[in-house]
Amino acid sequence: YKQGQQPRVQRLDGEKEAHLIALTCSDAPTGRVRWTLRLLAERMVELGHVEQISHETIRKTLKKTNSSLG
């Protein structure tokens, strides 16, 4: 990246957003009361929906779709 330029934010397409929202609405992992942004990011990778994703991208996507974690 050029100096002062922010890295490009990864965006999820509609299908991946739908998987994220469905995951967010599902039961939290055993031993957890609710999903965290980091857990959601890890599970999206584990399920093969994305190769990698940051918890910040998860946060921005959920904010855009007006979804919440709890």
Of 32, 40, 70, nearest in space to 57 by CA: 40
Q: How many domains are there within the chain?
A: 1
Residue 69 lies in a domain: no
| 28-59: pLDDT as tens digits | 999 999 999 999 999 999 999 999 999 999 99
Q: Is 35 exposed, middle or buried (0-12, 13-18, 19+ CB in 10 A)?
A: buried
Q: Is the pLDDT of residue 65 over 90?
A: no
The predicted pLDDT at position 30 comes to 95
Is there a contact between 29 and 39 (Cβ–Cβ < 8 Å)? Answer: yes
Does residue 1 belong to any structural domain of this protein? no
pTM of the full structure: 0.80
Q: Is 39 contained in some domain?
A: yes
pLDDT bin (cut points 50, 70, 90) of residue 2 is low
